[in-house]
Amino acid sequence: MECLFEIKKAQKIKNRKIILGYAPHLIDENSLVFSPLGVACDYQINYEVGSEEGVAMLLAHTLSPGIFNNLKDFDMGYLSAESNVGEEELEEVLNFIANESFCVILTQDFLAHPLGYKILSLLSTSSLLAHYPLFLQDQPLSYCQPLGESNGMIARITQAQSCELRGSSQFALFSKLQHLEKITLKAQDLQTQTTFILDESMKGVIALLKISTPYPHYPYQKIQILK
């Protein structure tokens, strides 16, 4: 199921919308908005500025129960306290979408967050599990169209005995890579020759880059593929 789409400027979405971020031009009577700024909307949930990742995790947990079953340290109480989004607000979300088709819209408030790529990957997974469309505000990214270039790809860099770039079928689609394809890859202070491994057990759009030496920077990095 293809769940990730770009919102076109003149596009109108008729079903119920959960909007993550401040986007007054997208709001109508069928909208529920997560925003720390007040908006003209009957359904608004305020959250603490900077807690967008926590909000996304709480929403994913609400819309797709079981998504964090394998995450031992998932602490809903901690996330609720830090983001100021509690059980009552999450119950409001469920009441809002009850027996109705809905979509989720990610705005720049979430996409431009330092961990925006993790938020995108998380909600992409949630949308596949719960079968709802996920829209990106004004982003040239879509599962429905091929990408023109390889900007914006993310990999987690880790030290390992084998050197490889391992990714899901979604990542392969974005990067236009084939299984066992030889590539040259660049990241912050790193350039390496490696092989792409298509791993059907992986989900989301973040790949795993294994290198033979320790990587001193933040492990999640934008990568550039030079074929």
> What is the residue extent of each domain of the chain?
16-126, 154-226
Residue whose C-alpha is closest to residue 205's, from 1, 65, 4: 4
Residue whose C-alpha is closest to residue 79's, from 102, 99, 52: 52
CA distance 145 to 128: 18
The pTM (predicted TM-score) of the whole model is 0.58
Q: Going by C-beta distance under 8 Å and a sequence separation of 6 or more, which residues neighbour residue 142?
A: 4, 5, 6
Candidate CATH numbers 3.40.50.1400, 2.40.40.20, 3.90.1520.10, 2.70.50.60; the one for domain 154-226: 2.40.40.20
Which positions of the chain have pLDDT values less than 70?
1-14, 138-151, 218-220
Identity of the amino acid at 166: R
3-state secondary structure of 90: helix
Q: What is the CATH architecture assignment of 16-126? A: 3-Layer(aba) Sandwich (3.40)
- 224 with 187: CB under 8 angstroms? yes
* β pairing state of 206-211 and 153-159: parallel
Tens of pLDDT, residue by residue over 170-186, are 999 989 999 999 999 99
Please count the other Cβ atoms lying within 10 Å of the Cβ belonging to residue 219: 12
CA distance 204 to 202: 7
End-to-end C-alpha distance for the chain, whole angstroms: 29
3-state secondary structure of 227: coil
How much is the pLDDT for 7? 53
How much is the pLDDT for 146? 32
How much is the pLDDT for 56? 96
How much is the pLDDT for 134? 93
How much is the pLDDT for 4? 52
How much is the pLDDT for 72? 76
